[in-house]
Amino acid sequence: MSVTGTHAHATLSPAERTRLGRRARLLAGASVTYNVVEAVVAVTAGIVAGSVALVGFGLDSVVEVSSGLIILWQFRHRLPESREQQALRLMAFSFFALASYVTVDSVRALFGSGEPAPSPVGIGLAIASLMIMPVLSWAQRRTGRALGSNAVVADSTQTLLCTYLSAVLLLGLVLNATLGWGWADPVAGLVIAAVAVREGVQAWKGKGCCSPGAGAHDGEDDCGRADACCAPSMTAAASPDSQVTQHPS
């Protein structure tokens, strides 16, 4: 365990931890609200256009909704850190479920007959997500690092994943709409599935901070080094020894 990382979170006062926990809940609530709307629009537009990438993107939004709900569930507990590992495992399962569905549907679409129709609604949705998701992810990551919570940082990774998937989705939809490259849609779906598997593995291992560019924010170290974000557990900050550090006599 990183002594530096543990010390950084042991200095949080109970009031600060409560404030950050409240912020984590508010951000999770904002993520849930946006992603519910995103999921409905994407899945509906995907079904209308016959786009597996759009449907997959909508299902990823459902995963993000579940991720936000997991964080809300975790921080309703008096000791949120006691639910940290459960929260990470639940997120991992949601990633794997998404990857399985999108992979099967993408392969079926790639080798089947018929091509997706152009979807202006899908293109507009992808552009909107490209503008909104990075800001939300940044706020979630800052809060998770301040708390020393890998689950909150993993939630920010899900949100950041939405940004990458929005770019992949936008590329696939634009290529299909402008050049008639119907194969670009299921290929985009396979990329979405591959990234989801990667993030599921990271969440299962408890490496919520180990995401693309995780170390690029605020000048902090990446996950290859012992930064405070990757503190293995928040329980150390809540232990009696830590309390002595928080309240020196």
Average pLDDT of the chain is 74
CA distances from 168 to 109, 175, 179, 203, 240 (A): 17, 11, 16, 22, 48
Question: Which pLDDT score is estimated for 79?
Answer: 64
Rounded to whole angstroms, the Cα distance separating 119 from 54 reads 9
* pLDDT tens column, 89-99: 887 887 888 78
Rounded to whole angstroms, the Cα distance separating 53 from 168 reads 9
Question: Which pLDDT score is estimated for 43?
Answer: 92
Domain formed by 3-209, architecture: Up-down Bundle (1.20)
Select from 40, 90, 55, 51 the least CA-distant residue to 70. 90
* pLDDT tens column, 67-121: 777 777 777 766 666 666 777 788 788 788 878 877 887 887 788 766 788 889 9
**Statement: residue 240 has pLDDT above 70:** no
**Best mean pLDDT range from 7-11, 69-73, 245-249:** 69-73
User: Percent of the chain at pLDDT above 70?
Assistant: 74
Answer whether 20's CB lies under 8 Å from 81's CB: no
**Statement: residue 41 has pLDDT above 90:** yes
* 40: confidence class by pLDDT, cuts 50, 70, 90: very high
Question: Which pLDDT score is estimated for 129?
Answer: 92
Rounded to whole angstroms, the Cα distance separating 201 from 161 reads 14
Q: Mark out the alpha helices in the chain (DSSP H runs).
A: 3-10, 14-49, 52-74, 84-111, 120-147, 150-179, 184-204, 235-238, 240-246
Domains in the chain: boundaries: 3-209
